[in-house]
Structure 1
Amino acid sequence: MELHLDWNVLFAFGLTLVAGLATGIGSALAFFTHRTSTRFLSVALGFSAGVMIYVSMVEIFFKAKSALVDALGSPLGAWVTAASFFGGIGFIALIDKAVPASVNPHESHRIEEVDDAQVSVRQQKLLRTGIFTALAISIHNFPEGLATFMGALENPRIGIAIAVAIAIHNIPEGISVSIPIYYATGERGKAFRLSFLSGLAEPAG
Protein backbone atom coordinates (compact mmCIF):
# COMPACT_ATOMS: atom_id res chain seq x y z
CA MET A 1 0.00 0.00 0.00
CA GLU A 2 2.82 2.37 0.92
CA LEU A 3 4.72 1.49 -2.27
CA HIS A 4 1.59 2.16 -4.33
CA LEU A 5 1.16 5.55 -2.63
CA ASP A 6 4.81 6.44 -3.26
CA TRP A 7 4.42 5.57 -6.94
CA ASN A 8 1.33 7.79 -7.22
CA VAL A 9 3.20 10.67 -5.59
CA LEU A 10 6.19 10.25 -7.92
CA PHE A 11 3.93 10.05 -10.96
CA ALA A 12 2.01 13.17 -9.92
CA PHE A 13 5.23 15.08 -9.27
CA GLY A 14 6.66 13.92 -12.60
CA LEU A 15 3.64 15.26 -14.48
CA THR A 16 3.92 18.57 -12.64
CA LEU A 17 7.63 18.79 -13.46
CA VAL A 18 7.03 18.10 -17.16
CA ALA A 19 4.33 20.78 -17.29
CA GLY A 20 6.70 23.29 -15.69
CA LEU A 21 9.60 22.43 -17.99
CA ALA A 22 7.43 23.33 -20.99
CA THR A 23 8.22 26.95 -20.13
CA GLY A 24 11.82 26.22 -21.06
CA ILE A 25 10.67 24.75 -24.37
CA GLY A 26 8.98 28.04 -25.13
CA SER A 27 12.23 29.86 -24.48
CA ALA A 28 14.10 27.64 -26.91
CA LEU A 29 11.44 28.00 -29.61
CA ALA A 30 11.69 31.77 -29.41
CA PHE A 31 15.29 31.63 -30.62
CA PHE A 32 14.35 29.92 -33.89
CA THR A 33 12.07 32.65 -35.18
CA HIS A 34 12.73 36.27 -36.04
CA ARG A 35 9.22 37.60 -35.42
CA THR A 36 6.37 35.87 -33.64
CA SER A 37 2.83 36.95 -34.51
CA THR A 38 -0.19 36.71 -32.26
CA ARG A 39 -1.37 33.63 -34.16
CA PHE A 40 1.03 31.37 -32.29
CA LEU A 41 0.12 32.84 -28.91
CA SER A 42 -3.62 32.92 -29.53
CA VAL A 43 -3.82 29.34 -30.82
CA ALA A 44 -1.65 27.92 -28.04
CA LEU A 45 -3.28 29.87 -25.22
CA GLY A 46 -6.80 29.41 -26.62
CA PHE A 47 -6.42 25.66 -27.05
CA SER A 48 -4.85 25.15 -23.62
CA ALA A 49 -7.48 27.36 -21.98
CA GLY A 50 -10.23 25.32 -23.62
CA VAL A 51 -8.72 22.06 -22.40
CA MET A 52 -8.29 23.41 -18.86
CA ILE A 53 -11.85 24.76 -18.75
CA TYR A 54 -13.18 21.40 -19.90
CA VAL A 55 -11.09 19.48 -17.39
CA SER A 56 -12.02 21.88 -14.58
CA MET A 57 -15.76 21.98 -15.24
CA VAL A 58 -16.39 18.41 -16.41
CA GLU A 59 -13.88 16.39 -14.40
CA ILE A 60 -12.37 18.18 -11.41
CA PHE A 61 -15.35 20.26 -10.27
CA PHE A 62 -17.73 17.34 -9.80
CA LYS A 63 -15.07 15.10 -8.26
CA ALA A 64 -14.18 17.87 -5.80
CA LYS A 65 -17.84 18.40 -4.97
CA SER A 66 -18.36 14.69 -4.37
CA ALA A 67 -15.31 14.47 -2.11
CA LEU A 68 -16.26 17.58 -0.12
CA VAL A 69 -19.88 16.47 0.28
CA ASP A 70 -18.64 13.13 1.63
CA ALA A 71 -16.32 14.92 4.05
CA LEU A 72 -18.45 17.89 5.12
CA GLY A 73 -22.01 16.89 4.37
CA SER A 74 -24.40 17.85 1.59
CA PRO A 75 -25.07 21.57 2.09
CA LEU A 76 -21.66 22.62 3.40
CA GLY A 77 -19.66 20.56 0.92
CA ALA A 78 -21.52 22.04 -2.05
CA TRP A 79 -21.06 25.58 -0.73
CA VAL A 80 -17.34 25.04 -0.09
CA THR A 81 -16.94 23.69 -3.63
CA ALA A 82 -18.64 26.74 -5.16
CA ALA A 83 -16.75 29.15 -2.89
CA SER A 84 -13.42 27.54 -3.77
CA PHE A 85 -14.20 27.71 -7.48
CA PHE A 86 -15.09 31.39 -7.50
CA GLY A 87 -12.36 32.16 -4.96
CA GLY A 88 -9.82 30.65 -7.35
CA ILE A 89 -11.14 32.82 -10.18
CA GLY A 90 -10.82 35.89 -7.97
CA PHE A 91 -7.30 34.97 -6.88
CA ILE A 92 -6.07 34.55 -10.46
CA ALA A 93 -7.80 37.80 -11.44
CA LEU A 94 -5.93 39.62 -8.66
CA ILE A 95 -2.62 38.17 -9.83
CA ASP A 96 -3.36 39.24 -13.40
CA LYS A 97 -4.48 42.69 -12.21
CA ALA A 98 -1.21 43.15 -10.31
CA VAL A 99 0.73 42.87 -13.56
CA PRO A 100 0.76 46.20 -15.47
CA ALA A 101 -0.68 46.03 -19.00
CA SER A 102 2.65 47.13 -20.48
CA VAL A 103 4.38 44.00 -19.20
CA ASN A 104 1.47 41.56 -19.10
CA PRO A 105 2.17 38.80 -21.66
CA HIS A 106 -1.58 38.33 -22.16
CA GLU A 107 -1.87 41.91 -23.46
CA SER A 108 0.82 41.61 -26.16
CA HIS A 109 0.17 42.06 -29.88
CA ARG A 110 3.50 40.53 -30.78
CA ILE A 111 6.13 38.87 -28.61
CA GLU A 112 8.46 41.74 -29.44
CA GLU A 113 5.84 44.14 -28.04
CA VAL A 114 5.90 42.79 -24.48
CA ASP A 115 7.39 46.18 -23.61
CA ASP A 116 7.50 47.82 -27.02
CA ALA A 117 6.90 51.34 -25.66
CA GLN A 118 10.12 51.17 -23.65
CA VAL A 119 12.43 49.45 -26.15
CA SER A 120 13.99 52.71 -27.33
CA VAL A 121 14.48 54.09 -23.82
CA ARG A 122 17.02 51.84 -22.12
CA GLN A 123 17.90 48.18 -22.21
CA GLN A 124 17.75 48.03 -18.43
CA LYS A 125 14.04 48.78 -18.50
CA LEU A 126 13.48 45.97 -20.97
CA LEU A 127 15.49 43.65 -18.75
CA ARG A 128 13.32 44.59 -15.76
CA THR A 129 10.28 43.85 -17.88
CA GLY A 130 11.47 40.32 -18.57
CA ILE A 131 12.38 39.72 -14.94
CA PHE A 132 9.07 41.10 -13.68
CA THR A 133 7.19 38.94 -16.19
CA ALA A 134 9.14 35.91 -14.99
CA LEU A 135 8.14 36.67 -11.38
CA ALA A 136 4.49 37.15 -12.36
CA ILE A 137 4.43 33.88 -14.29
CA SER A 138 6.11 32.11 -11.36
CA ILE A 139 3.26 33.23 -9.08
CA HIS A 140 0.79 32.19 -11.76
CA ASN A 141 2.42 28.74 -12.10
CA PHE A 142 2.33 27.91 -8.40
CA PRO A 143 -1.41 27.08 -8.15
CA GLU A 144 -1.25 25.37 -11.55
CA GLY A 145 1.37 23.00 -10.16
CA LEU A 146 -0.80 22.30 -7.14
CA ALA A 147 -3.80 21.57 -9.39
CA THR A 148 -1.77 19.19 -11.56
CA PHE A 149 -0.33 17.34 -8.58
CA MET A 150 -3.63 16.93 -6.74
CA GLY A 151 -5.45 15.98 -9.94
CA ALA A 152 -2.89 13.28 -10.71
CA LEU A 153 -3.11 11.90 -7.17
CA GLU A 154 -6.88 11.65 -7.45
CA ASN A 155 -6.94 10.25 -10.99
CA PRO A 156 -3.86 9.78 -13.23
CA ARG A 157 -5.99 10.31 -16.36
CA ILE A 158 -7.13 13.70 -15.08
CA GLY A 159 -3.57 14.56 -14.07
CA ILE A 160 -2.29 13.83 -17.58
CA ALA A 161 -5.01 15.99 -19.15
CA ILE A 162 -4.22 18.89 -16.82
CA ALA A 163 -0.46 18.53 -17.36
CA VAL A 164 -0.83 18.57 -21.16
CA ALA A 165 -3.10 21.62 -21.07
CA ILE A 166 -0.78 23.52 -18.74
CA ALA A 167 2.32 22.51 -20.73
CA ILE A 168 0.77 23.95 -23.91
CA HIS A 169 -0.17 27.05 -21.93
CA ASN A 170 3.36 27.42 -20.55
CA ILE A 171 5.19 27.33 -23.91
CA PRO A 172 4.14 30.83 -25.08
CA GLU A 173 4.60 32.13 -21.54
CA GLY A 174 8.21 30.98 -21.74
CA ILE A 175 8.61 32.98 -24.93
CA SER A 176 7.13 36.03 -23.20
CA VAL A 177 9.84 35.85 -20.55
CA SER A 178 12.84 35.06 -22.73
CA ILE A 179 12.34 37.56 -25.58
CA PRO A 180 12.59 40.84 -23.60
CA ILE A 181 15.53 39.52 -21.59
CA TYR A 182 17.28 38.35 -24.75
CA TYR A 183 16.66 41.68 -26.51
CA ALA A 184 17.96 43.57 -23.48
CA THR A 185 21.10 41.54 -22.81
CA GLY A 186 21.84 39.71 -26.06
CA GLU A 187 22.50 36.63 -23.92
CA ARG A 188 20.40 33.64 -24.95
CA GLY A 189 21.66 31.60 -22.03
CA LYS A 190 20.53 34.16 -19.48
CA ALA A 191 17.14 34.53 -21.16
CA PHE A 192 16.68 30.77 -21.19
CA ARG A 193 17.75 30.34 -17.56
CA LEU A 194 15.34 32.95 -16.19
CA SER A 195 12.46 31.59 -18.24
CA PHE A 196 13.33 28.06 -17.14
CA LEU A 197 13.39 29.12 -13.48
CA SER A 198 9.91 30.66 -13.78
CA GLY A 199 8.66 27.26 -14.93
CA LEU A 200 10.12 25.55 -11.86
CA ALA A 201 7.40 27.23 -9.77
CA GLU A 202 5.11 24.57 -11.23
CA PRO A 203 6.63 21.56 -9.38
CA ALA A 204 7.23 23.81 -6.34
CA GLY A 205 3.44 24.23 -6.12
Structure 2
Amino acid sequence: MSTLVFVIIVTAIAGVGGTGLGGIIGALFKKDSNKRVSLLLSFAAGIMLSIVCFELILGALYPENSSSQTNVFIVVGGIIFGVLLIYVLNYLIDKKSNIELAHIDKNHPKTADELDELIHSDHLQKHINNKDSKTKLFVAGIVMASAIALHNLPEGMTIGASFISDVSSGVNINTRLSSGIIMAFLIGFHNIPEGMSIAVPLISGGMSKPKAIFVTAMSGAPTVIGAILGYVIGDIGPIGLSLSLSFASGAMIYVVFGEILPQAILMYKSKLPTFFIVIGMLLGLIIIYI
Protein backbone atom coordinates (compact mmCIF):
# COMPACT_ATOMS: atom_id res chain seq x y z
CA MET A 1 0.00 0.00 0.00
CA SER A 2 1.41 3.39 -0.98
CA THR A 3 1.87 6.06 1.68
CA LEU A 4 -0.65 8.43 0.07
CA VAL A 5 -3.33 5.72 -0.05
CA PHE A 6 -2.68 4.96 3.61
CA VAL A 7 -3.01 8.66 4.45
CA ILE A 8 -6.32 8.86 2.55
CA ILE A 9 -7.73 5.83 4.39
CA VAL A 10 -6.70 7.09 7.83
CA THR A 11 -8.03 10.58 7.08
CA ALA A 12 -11.33 9.19 5.82
CA ILE A 13 -11.75 7.31 9.10
CA ALA A 14 -10.99 10.49 11.09
CA GLY A 15 -13.09 12.78 8.89
CA VAL A 16 -16.07 10.76 7.70
CA GLY A 17 -16.01 8.35 10.65
CA GLY A 18 -15.59 11.07 13.31
CA THR A 19 -18.33 13.34 12.00
CA GLY A 20 -20.57 10.35 11.29
CA LEU A 21 -20.23 9.17 14.88
CA GLY A 22 -21.03 12.69 16.04
CA GLY A 23 -24.10 12.61 13.79
CA ILE A 24 -25.31 9.39 15.40
CA ILE A 25 -24.85 10.87 18.88
CA GLY A 26 -26.58 14.08 17.78
CA ALA A 27 -29.52 12.07 16.45
CA LEU A 28 -30.01 10.58 19.91
CA PHE A 29 -30.08 13.98 21.61
CA LYS A 30 -33.15 16.10 22.14
CA LYS A 31 -33.45 19.51 20.52
CA ASP A 32 -32.57 21.27 23.76
CA SER A 33 -29.03 19.86 23.88
CA ASN A 34 -27.32 23.26 23.58
CA LYS A 35 -25.48 22.92 26.87
CA ARG A 36 -23.97 19.53 26.02
CA VAL A 37 -23.04 20.54 22.48
CA SER A 38 -21.54 23.81 23.77
CA LEU A 39 -19.31 22.02 26.27
CA LEU A 40 -18.24 19.41 23.73
CA LEU A 41 -17.41 22.11 21.19
CA SER A 42 -15.37 23.94 23.84
CA PHE A 43 -13.53 20.73 24.68
CA ALA A 44 -12.84 20.09 20.99
CA ALA A 45 -11.64 23.68 20.54
CA GLY A 46 -9.14 23.11 23.35
CA ILE A 47 -7.81 20.02 21.58
CA MET A 48 -7.47 21.96 18.32
CA LEU A 49 -5.56 24.74 20.08
CA SER A 50 -3.16 22.14 21.49
CA ILE A 51 -2.61 20.77 18.00
CA VAL A 52 -1.90 24.24 16.62
CA CYS A 53 0.32 25.53 19.45
CA PHE A 54 2.23 22.41 20.48
CA GLU A 55 2.48 20.53 17.18
CA LEU A 56 1.76 22.43 13.96
CA ILE A 57 3.53 25.74 14.56
CA LEU A 58 6.54 24.00 16.11
CA GLY A 59 6.60 21.61 13.14
CA ALA A 60 6.50 24.58 10.76
CA LEU A 61 9.41 26.27 12.54
CA TYR A 62 11.50 23.10 12.82
CA PRO A 63 10.66 20.75 9.89
CA GLU A 64 11.74 17.17 10.50
CA ASN A 65 13.65 16.95 7.22
CA SER A 66 15.55 20.21 7.69
CA SER A 67 18.70 20.87 9.67
CA SER A 68 17.84 24.51 10.31
CA GLN A 69 14.96 26.57 11.60
CA THR A 70 12.54 27.98 9.04
CA ASN A 71 12.47 31.77 8.85
CA VAL A 72 9.84 32.82 11.38
CA PHE A 73 8.38 35.36 8.97
CA ILE A 74 7.58 32.57 6.49
CA VAL A 75 5.63 30.80 9.22
CA VAL A 76 3.90 34.02 10.32
CA GLY A 77 3.03 34.78 6.69
CA GLY A 78 1.56 31.30 6.24
CA ILE A 79 -0.55 31.68 9.39
CA ILE A 80 -1.82 35.11 8.30
CA PHE A 81 -2.68 33.76 4.85
CA GLY A 82 -4.59 30.85 6.40
CA VAL A 83 -6.58 33.17 8.67
CA LEU A 84 -7.40 35.65 5.91
CA LEU A 85 -8.36 33.03 3.33
CA ILE A 86 -10.82 31.25 5.61
CA TYR A 87 -12.20 34.60 6.81
CA VAL A 88 -12.82 35.83 3.25
CA LEU A 89 -14.41 32.56 2.15
CA ASN A 90 -16.57 32.49 5.27
CA TYR A 91 -17.60 36.11 4.66
CA LEU A 92 -18.64 35.31 1.09
CA ILE A 93 -20.72 32.34 2.24
CA ASP A 94 -22.43 34.45 4.94
CA LYS A 95 -23.11 37.23 2.44
CA LYS A 96 -24.71 34.76 0.04
CA SER A 97 -26.94 33.07 2.60
CA ASN A 98 -27.85 35.77 5.11
CA ILE A 99 -29.56 38.08 2.61
CA GLU A 100 -32.17 35.38 2.04
CA LEU A 101 -33.03 35.00 5.73
CA ALA A 102 -35.59 37.36 7.23
CA HIS A 103 -34.21 37.16 10.77
CA ILE A 104 -30.73 38.32 9.77
CA ASP A 105 -30.64 42.11 10.14
CA LYS A 106 -28.41 44.91 11.48
CA ASN A 107 -29.32 43.97 15.06
CA HIS A 108 -28.30 40.34 14.63
CA PRO A 109 -24.95 39.21 16.13
CA LYS A 110 -22.10 39.20 13.63
CA THR A 111 -21.42 35.59 14.55
CA ALA A 112 -23.80 32.62 14.61
CA ASP A 113 -25.92 32.33 17.74
CA GLU A 114 -27.70 29.10 16.81
CA LEU A 115 -26.44 25.71 15.65
CA ASP A 116 -28.25 25.99 12.34
CA GLU A 117 -26.60 29.34 11.60
CA LEU A 118 -23.12 27.94 12.15
CA ILE A 119 -23.45 25.57 9.18
CA HIS A 120 -26.18 27.55 7.34
CA SER A 121 -28.71 24.73 7.56
CA ASP A 122 -31.26 27.50 8.30
CA HIS A 123 -30.61 28.80 4.78
CA LEU A 124 -31.29 25.37 3.29
CA GLN A 125 -34.35 24.82 5.48
CA LYS A 126 -35.90 28.13 4.35
CA HIS A 127 -35.79 27.00 0.70
CA ILE A 128 -37.22 23.60 1.66
CA ASN A 129 -40.10 25.24 3.57
CA ASN A 130 -40.81 27.51 0.60
CA LYS A 131 -40.84 24.46 -1.70
CA ASP A 132 -38.42 26.26 -4.01
CA SER A 133 -37.04 24.87 -7.24
CA LYS A 134 -34.45 22.11 -7.28
CA THR A 135 -31.89 24.63 -8.50
CA LYS A 136 -32.36 26.85 -5.42
CA LEU A 137 -32.27 23.81 -3.13
CA PHE A 138 -29.07 22.64 -4.82
CA VAL A 139 -27.44 26.07 -4.38
CA ALA A 140 -28.50 26.21 -0.72
CA GLY A 141 -27.04 22.72 -0.23
CA ILE A 142 -23.77 23.83 -1.82
CA VAL A 143 -23.65 26.83 0.52
CA MET A 144 -24.10 24.56 3.54
CA ALA A 145 -21.50 22.09 2.24
CA SER A 146 -19.03 24.93 1.63
CA ALA A 147 -19.48 26.23 5.17
CA ILE A 148 -18.73 22.78 6.56
CA ALA A 149 -15.79 22.25 4.18
CA LEU A 150 -14.12 25.42 5.51
CA HIS A 151 -13.84 23.66 8.87
CA ASN A 152 -12.65 20.34 7.51
CA LEU A 153 -10.15 21.25 4.78
CA PRO A 154 -7.49 22.71 7.12
CA GLU A 155 -7.96 19.79 9.51
CA GLY A 156 -7.16 17.40 6.68
CA MET A 157 -4.12 19.46 5.72
CA THR A 158 -2.69 18.99 9.20
CA ILE A 159 -3.01 15.21 8.87
CA GLY A 160 -1.40 15.13 5.42
CA ALA A 161 1.43 17.47 6.43
CA SER A 162 2.06 15.45 9.60
CA PHE A 163 2.36 12.23 7.60
CA ILE A 164 4.78 13.72 5.08
CA SER A 165 6.79 15.07 8.01
CA ASP A 166 6.99 11.50 9.38
CA VAL A 167 8.06 10.11 6.01
CA SER A 168 10.73 12.81 5.59
CA SER A 169 12.21 11.95 8.97
CA GLY A 170 12.38 8.23 8.13
CA VAL A 171 9.42 7.02 10.22
CA ASN A 172 7.65 3.91 8.92
CA ILE A 173 4.05 5.05 9.31
CA ASN A 174 2.74 1.52 8.70
CA THR A 175 4.52 -0.04 11.65
CA ARG A 176 4.51 2.50 14.47
CA LEU A 177 2.44 5.22 16.12
CA SER A 178 3.49 8.25 14.08
CA SER A 179 2.62 11.91 14.57
CA GLY A 180 0.31 11.59 11.54
CA ILE A 181 -1.66 8.82 13.28
CA ILE A 182 -1.83 10.86 16.49
CA MET A 183 -3.01 13.90 14.53
CA ALA A 184 -5.69 11.84 12.78
CA PHE A 185 -6.87 10.51 16.16
CA LEU A 186 -7.07 14.00 17.69
CA ILE A 187 -8.94 15.44 14.72
CA GLY A 188 -11.25 12.42 14.57
CA PHE A 189 -12.03 12.96 18.25
CA HIS A 190 -12.62 16.66 17.59
CA ASN A 191 -14.98 15.80 14.71
CA ILE A 192 -17.43 14.04 17.04
CA PRO A 193 -18.87 17.23 18.61
CA GLU A 194 -18.55 18.94 15.22
CA GLY A 195 -20.70 16.17 13.75
CA MET A 196 -23.22 16.73 16.53
CA SER A 197 -23.34 20.44 15.69
CA ILE A 198 -24.25 19.50 12.11
CA ALA A 199 -26.79 16.74 12.80
CA VAL A 200 -28.78 18.45 15.57
CA PRO A 201 -30.02 21.44 13.52
CA LEU A 202 -30.72 19.24 10.49
CA ILE A 203 -32.93 16.95 12.56
CA SER A 204 -34.51 19.91 14.36
CA GLY A 205 -35.36 21.33 10.93
CA GLY A 206 -37.32 18.22 10.02
CA MET A 207 -34.77 16.03 8.22
CA SER A 208 -35.05 12.31 8.99
CA LYS A 209 -32.42 10.93 11.35
CA PRO A 210 -30.89 8.44 8.84
CA LYS A 211 -30.56 11.14 6.18
CA ALA A 212 -29.13 13.65 8.69
CA ILE A 213 -26.54 11.10 9.83
CA PHE A 214 -25.56 10.37 6.20
CA VAL A 215 -25.25 14.08 5.35
CA THR A 216 -23.22 14.64 8.51
CA ALA A 217 -20.84 11.77 7.74
CA MET A 218 -20.34 12.98 4.15
CA SER A 219 -19.55 16.46 5.45
CA GLY A 220 -16.28 14.98 6.68
CA ALA A 221 -15.21 14.09 3.13
CA PRO A 222 -13.42 17.45 2.53
CA THR A 223 -10.96 16.35 5.22
CA VAL A 224 -9.58 13.83 2.72
CA ILE A 225 -9.09 16.54 0.09
CA GLY A 226 -7.25 18.64 2.67
CA ALA A 227 -5.03 15.70 3.59
CA ILE A 228 -4.01 15.20 -0.05
CA LEU A 229 -3.20 18.92 -0.39
CA GLY A 230 -1.21 18.95 2.84
CA TYR A 231 0.72 15.84 1.82
CA VAL A 232 1.52 17.06 -1.71
CA ILE A 233 2.54 20.59 -0.65
CA GLY A 234 4.58 19.25 2.26
CA ASP A 235 6.37 16.84 -0.07
CA ILE A 236 7.92 19.75 -2.01
CA GLY A 237 10.59 20.24 0.64
CA PRO A 238 11.20 21.89 4.04
CA ILE A 239 9.70 25.22 2.92
CA GLY A 240 6.67 23.47 1.45
CA LEU A 241 6.18 21.54 4.70
CA SER A 242 6.46 24.73 6.76
CA LEU A 243 3.97 26.54 4.52
CA SER A 244 1.52 23.64 4.65
CA LEU A 245 1.67 23.44 8.45
CA SER A 246 1.55 27.21 9.00
CA PHE A 247 -1.38 27.68 6.59
CA ALA A 248 -3.31 24.90 8.31
CA SER A 249 -2.48 26.52 11.68
CA GLY A 250 -3.86 29.88 10.58
CA ALA A 251 -6.99 28.33 9.13
CA MET A 252 -7.69 26.37 12.30
CA ILE A 253 -6.97 29.40 14.50
CA TYR A 254 -9.68 31.31 12.66
CA VAL A 255 -12.14 28.40 12.84
CA VAL A 256 -11.56 28.03 16.60
CA PHE A 257 -11.65 31.71 17.58
CA GLY A 258 -13.97 32.98 14.86
CA GLU A 259 -16.54 30.17 14.77
CA ILE A 260 -16.36 27.38 17.36
CA LEU A 261 -15.70 29.33 20.57
CA PRO A 262 -18.17 32.19 19.89
CA GLN A 263 -20.77 29.57 19.02
CA ALA A 264 -20.08 27.55 22.18
CA ILE A 265 -20.28 30.60 24.43
CA LEU A 266 -23.49 31.89 22.82
CA MET A 267 -25.10 28.47 23.13
CA TYR A 268 -24.34 28.22 26.86
CA LYS A 269 -23.49 31.48 28.59
CA SER A 270 -21.44 30.30 31.52
CA LYS A 271 -17.84 30.04 32.72
CA LEU A 272 -18.01 26.26 32.28
CA PRO A 273 -16.97 26.26 28.58
CA THR A 274 -13.70 27.92 29.65
CA PHE A 275 -12.82 24.96 31.85
CA PHE A 276 -13.66 22.52 29.05
CA ILE A 277 -11.32 24.45 26.73
CA VAL A 278 -8.50 24.11 29.25
CA ILE A 279 -9.22 20.41 29.77
CA GLY A 280 -9.18 19.88 26.02
CA MET A 281 -5.85 21.68 25.67
CA LEU A 282 -4.27 19.63 28.44
CA LEU A 283 -5.56 16.36 27.05
CA GLY A 284 -4.27 17.30 23.59
CA LEU A 285 -0.86 18.12 25.07
CA ILE A 286 -0.72 14.78 26.86
CA ILE A 287 -1.69 12.81 23.73
CA ILE A 288 0.84 14.65 21.54
CA TYR A 289 3.79 14.13 23.86
CA ILE A 290 2.92 10.91 25.68
Indicate conservation of the 8 Å contact 1:135/1:198, yes or no: no
Could you tell me which runs of 5 or more consecutive residues in structure 1 were left unpaired when the two chains were aligned. none
Secondary structure of 1:190's aligned partner:
helix
CA contact under 8 A between 2:124 and 2:141: conserved in structure 1? no
**Percent of aligned pairs sharing the same letter:** 23
SS in 1 for 2:62: helix
Structure 2 equivalent of residue 141 of structure 1: 152
Aligned to 1:178: 199
Q: Assess if the C-alpha contact under 8 Å between 2:22 and 2:196 holds in 1.
A: yes
Asked whether 1:167 is paired with 2:188, we answer yes
Greater helix content? 1
What amino acid does structure 2 have at the position aligned with 1:196?
A
2:276 corresponds to which residue?
Answer: none
More displaced stretch, 56-65 vs 175-184: 175-184
Q: Which moved more, 1:156-165 or 1:11-20?
A: 156-165
- Is the Cα contact below 8 Å between 1:130 and 1:178 reproduced in 2? no
**2:33 aligned with 1:37:** yes
Does the CA-based 8 Å contact 1:29-1:175 persist in structure 2? yes
Aligned equivalents of 1:59, 1:166: Cα separation in 2: 13
Cα shift at 1:163: 2.2
Q: Select which of 89, 96, 100 maps to 2:90.
A: 96
Does the CA-based 8 Å contact 1:26-1:170 persist in structure 2?
A: yes
**How far apart are the structure 1 equivalents of 2:128 and 2:113?**
19
Tell me if 1:13 matches 2:34: no
Cα–Cα, structure 1 residues 67 and 117, in superposed 2: closer, same or farther, change >3 Å?
closer
Q: Secondary structure at the match of 2:21?
A: helix
> Which of 203, 208, 218 is matched with 1:197 structurally?
218
Aligned to 1:153: 164
Q: Give 1:202 shift.
A: 0.8
SS at match of 1:67: coil
Alpha carbons of 1:125 and 1:175: their partners in 2 closer, same or farther (altered >3 Å)?
Answer: farther
Give the corresponding residue for 1:49: 45
Q: May I ask how many residue pairs the two structures share in their alignment?
A: 196
More displaced 10-residue stretch of structure 1: 25-34 or 11-20: 11-20
Q: C-alpha deviations, 1:140-193, integer Å up to 9, x for none?
A: 312211211211332454323432332233223323333444444543332222
1:28 is displaced (CA, Å) by 1.3
* Aligned twin of 2:62: 66
Q: Aligned equivalents of 2:65 and 2:164: distance in 1?
A: 19
Q: Give me the whole-angstrom Cα distance separating, in 2, the residues matched to 1:51 and 1:168.
A: 9
User: C-alpha distance in 2, partners of 1:79/1:120?
Assistant: 44
Q: What's the offset of the Cα at 1:23? A: 1.1
Q: Deviations over 1:56-97 (max 9, x none)?
A: 2222212222239949x76x7322111112221222323333
**Which structure 2 segments of 5+ residues have no match?**
105-110, 167-176, 227-290
Further displaced range: 48-57 or 162-171: 162-171
Map Cα deviations across residues 44-67 of structure 1 (whole Å, 9 max, x no partner). 222222222222222221222223
Per-residue deviation, 1:109: 4.2
TM-score w.r.t. the length of structure 1 is 0.72
Instruction: Look up the SS of the partner of 1:199 in the other structure.
Output: coil
3-state SS, counterpart of residue 31 of structure 1: helix
Aligned residue for 1:107?
Answer: 112
Change (3 A) 1:148 1:109: same
The residue number in structure 2 matching 1:77 is 71
